[in-house]
A and B are shown apart, each in its own frame.
Chain A
Amino acid sequence: MVEVKLWAGLRPLADNQSVATVEASNIREMLRKLEERYPGLATPFRGQVAVAVDGVIYRDDWSKELPEGAEVMLIKRLAGG
């Protein structure tokens, strides 16, 4: 099981939850299960999110495995210069 923290802007789309628990072994599975539970997340999940796993930010590699007990946070996909 993975505890996923949602940034404030996502919470209204997820029944105002700040944390969601899902059974997922990688980022792709986690996002899919969150979207199944909260369909409103579909739009931000298309190109607007990044995932911090134990402090490292993943923007594209949805195959990244989620270790047991990992800290997982959804954050906005960042801009760079």
Chain B
Amino acid sequence: MAVVSQNTTFSKVFWPAVAWSVAIIFFFPIFWMVFTSFKTDADAVKPEFLFFFTPTLENYTNMTENYDYWRFAINSVITATFATIFALVVGVPAAYAMAFNPSRATKDVLMWMLSTKMLPAAAVLYPMTFLTKNFLDIYDTHFLIIVVLCLINLPIVIWMLFTYFKEIPKEIIEAGKMDGVDTWGEIKDILIPLAWGGVASTALLCFIFCWNEAYWTVRLTTTEAATLSKLIEGNRAPEGLFFGRLSAVSTAAVGPIVVLGWFCQKQLVQGLTFGAVK
């Protein structure tokens, strides 16, 4: 029995069962949140209704009334969408230049960009508040949140695009040049169609990061541009009173992103490890 073969009946049943159990345990909190969202606030804290109860949709139908959900949700959509678009608009040309016309400085520029990502946000909290509130007067505006979200994700966007563009044979771009295509044409007609999958998953990942951002979106907004992170943080301690409705609004806040996330698992690895793990 020294050799544990992978083909015994025992290991064929046992290990998958363990894997399934682990997966279910990890998913359980999310399941519980969704499950609780169909209970009334009163039922949600009663042990006798722990598993069996009369499901209701009232937590979802009252979400606007209880939390003004849509205002925050629309702010999240607007800021994340535009931040992603701007990050791509700035990032695609930069990554294109670095991938196809690298100079000796390119590596250092990329490393430096990455290092800006490692600056602790708390260190510049007050200057940011001061600048945006007293100086530029853009505190609590969509514009500010879009710019901030765009900038904190720009390094990752450029890195991801760079790793995708690098895979494209240089000759194809050169051939375009021979045919007299200008730079804009190269990007639009050759590069983007070829690297479409990469650009799309970069955008998706950037959008997810923007959506989940919880430091600047909370610190630099009050009401106008407040996103879903701010909404949830504002309802942090309901002391059991509103488990039902809180679950519903939490489900509505994370549901779309979790589903989006399922589609870019693989890109996530590249994006988060800056291409160092493939």
User: Is chain B a partner of chain A in the same complex?
Assistant: no
